[in-house]
Amino acid sequence: MFGTQEINGDGILEIGGVSVKKLKGEYGTPLYVMDKNYIVEKAELIKKSFKSKVFKTDVAYASKAFLTVGMCKIVEELDLCLDVVSGGEIYTALKAHFPMEKAHFHGNSKSIEELNMAVEYGIGTIIVDNHLEFKLLEDICEKKQKKINAILRVNPGIDAHTHEYIQTSKFDSKFGESIFMEETKELIRRINRSEWVKFEGIHAHIGSQIFDINSFLKEAEVMTNYIKELVEEGIGIETLNLGGGYGIYYSEGDEPIDLELCLKEQVSIIEKINEKYNLGIKKLQIEPGRSLVANAGTTLYTIQGLKTTYSGKNYYFIDGGMTDNIRPALYQAAYNGTIGNRCLEEKENSVTVAGKCCESGDLIIKDAKLQKAELGDILCVFGTGAYNYSMASNYNKIPRPAVVIVENGESALMVRRESYEDLVRNDV
Ligand code: LLP
């Protein structure tokens, strides 16, 4: 159990002091439930651990993990920066009146329209991905007579051990420019000379859901040594951004990294190399997404079918599935769950939880122990706060669930449930 989750005297799961039975009654299912206190506590831990006496430190929330107008407001309350990757994410931040100077704009394929938007609305920093993007950005700034800060995303070639689809720093990755290519230094020189783009530093992100602390430490070391090469050429690097990717617990077998330790060690390695070579680094940044919100989220489903196959496999059928959680189908991600209205009963049944989509791969939990369930019971799946709502789809014309935030015995709607009318709104 995570955050404020508790089991009450009737064996019903409560999140943020609100029972899942009440949440189902009030908002219906499927329902994403976000635990505000979990997010606040995790953010405080990250900020506290990622501190330095030498550098200014910024924590930018990677909003692709979970972004709503309400979430932007929480990010602002927590005094975090916001990492955005598309015009849609920029627009969401604008709608929330998020201070755009604290937004960082990422992406390997930014459109001219998106770059225009970023310059127009005064995004704090653009994380430039490549040569052509820099040229486009410079032209846009000149045309608008507006300057912008930029960081170059580089690929430090670190092979982080995680799912192939979420590795980002192998030699053939689509992200950033390789530190092993002379052209990358040439690009840095060009940005550094630019009249319109202020060169701030370099960025790397080595992947997501990484459990090995050494991958992060290696990244810190390789990036700082690269800065040394640049400084030796007379190019000042103020900012080093190390990206996100800190692995979290979803289910048995996951050994999440000790985030506090990892962040402190990252800072300490950079402090040492910075001092040894007098590099003059001024600011360190990280971009956690999943580690901030994944375990704040629980998805509630109603069990609406039970089946035992000829071969003896037990299924629980739910009213959602791969449309609200694509991760098991896409990354073979494993989740834990419980029957939220039967928490005190033994988990004795080996079952597979299947979604309602017309896909054999629409399985949310495979062969796990769960309590014996009846129709109408509430299945709670844990750890769904990151990359669930944000990757949801309308496959099979299934409306996206509502999102609710809970805190101290109160719940509030964050995102309304989609209606059937919403599904045909853009059809002509
Ligand atoms: N910074 C950059 C540049 C990123 O590309 C990402 C994630 C992050 C930060 C945040 O990483 P995190 O701390 O959340 O691991 N959909 C996949 C994850 C894709 C991650 C994409 N980039 C999943 O569901 O596992």
Q: β-strand 31-35 against 56-62: which pairing, if any?
A: unpaired
pLDDT of residue 169: 60
Confidence of residue 421 (pLDDT cuts 50, 70, 90): very high
Ligand 1 centre to CA of 8 (Å) is: 35
Q: Is residue 341 part of a domain?
A: yes
Same domain for 132 and 62: yes
Same domain for 102 and 219: yes
Same domain for 191 and 46: yes
Q: Is residue 327 part of a domain?
A: yes
Same domain for 222 and 338: no
Same domain for 219 and 307: no
Calpha distance 380→33 (Å, rounded) = 10
216-221: long-range contacts, CB 8 A cutoff, minimum separation 24 = 216/242, 216/245, 216/246, 216/257, 216/262, 216/265, 216/266, 217/262, 217/265, 217/266, 217/269, 218/158, 219/156, 219/158, 219/169, 219/243, 220/265, 220/266, 220/269, 220/270, 221/269, 221/273
Cβ atoms of 81 and 61 closer than 8 Å: yes
**pLDDT tens-digit series, residues 97-154:** 999 999 999 999 999 999 999 999 999 999 999 999 999 999 999 999 999 999 999 9
Same domain for 418 and 282: no
Q: Is residue 403 part of a domain?
A: yes
> How far, CA to CA in Å, does 84 sit from each of 112, 351, 394?
16, 38, 23
Q: β-strand 347-354 against 297-308: which pairing, if any?
A: unpaired
What percent of the chain stands above pLDDT 90? 95
Ligand 1 centre to CA of 353 (Å) is: 26
Ligand 1 centre to CA of 246 (Å) is: 9
* Domain finish residue from 244, 277, 292: 292
Burial of 225 (0-12, 13-18, 19+ CB in 10 A): middle
Q: Is residue 200 part of a domain?
A: yes
CA atoms within 13 A on the CB side of 283: 13
Mutation pick for ligand 1 pocket among 154, 211, 257, 290 (CB with most ligand atoms within 8 Å):
290
pLDDT of residue 159: 79
Same domain for 226 and 85: yes
Atom of ligand 1 nearest to the CA of 289: 14
Mutation pick for ligand 1 pocket among 287, 322, 332 (CB with most ligand atoms within 8 Å):
287
| Residue in this structure with the two tokens 């070391």, named with its chain if needed | 221
Q: How many CB atoms lie within 10 A of CB 395?
A: 15
Cβ atoms of 179 and 153 closer than 8 Å: no
Confidence of residue 289 (pLDDT cuts 50, 70, 90): very high
**pLDDT tens-digit series, residues 153-182:** 999 999 776 666 656 666 788 999 999 999
- Total number of domains in the chain: 2
Confidence of residue 3 (pLDDT cuts 50, 70, 90): confident
Q: Is residue 228 part of a domain?
A: yes
Ligand 1 centre to CA of 190 (Å) is: 29
* Domain finish residue from 243, 276, 292: 292
Q: What is the mean pLDDT of the chain?
A: 96
Calpha distance 235→200 (Å, rounded) = 10
Query: Which domain covers residue 259, as residue numbers?
Result: 36-292
Residues tagged active-site: 358
Q: Is residue 118 part of a domain?
A: yes
Same domain for 67 and 12: no
Same domain for 259 and 122: yes
Q: Is residue 428 part of a domain?
A: no
Task: Assess whether pLDDT exceeds 80 at residue 67.
Answer: yes
Calpha distance 364→201 (Å, rounded) = 41
CATH code for position 346: 2.40.37.10
Same domain for 155 and 89: yes
Same domain for 159 and 86: yes
Q: Is residue 1 part of a domain?
A: no
Same domain for 350 and 387: yes
Ligand 1 site residues, Cβ closer than 6 angstroms: 62, 64-65, 83, 106, 166, 205, 208-209, 243-246, 287-291, 327, 331, 386-387
Calpha distance 63→93 (Å, rounded) = 10
* Domain finish residue from 270, 292, 314: 292
This prediction has a pTM of: 0.97
CATH code for position 267: 3.20.20.10
Calpha distance 241→151 (Å, rounded) = 8
Q: How many CB atoms lie within 10 A of CB 332?
A: 10
pLDDT of residue 2: 82
Task: Assess whether pLDDT exceeds 90 at residue 270.
Answer: yes
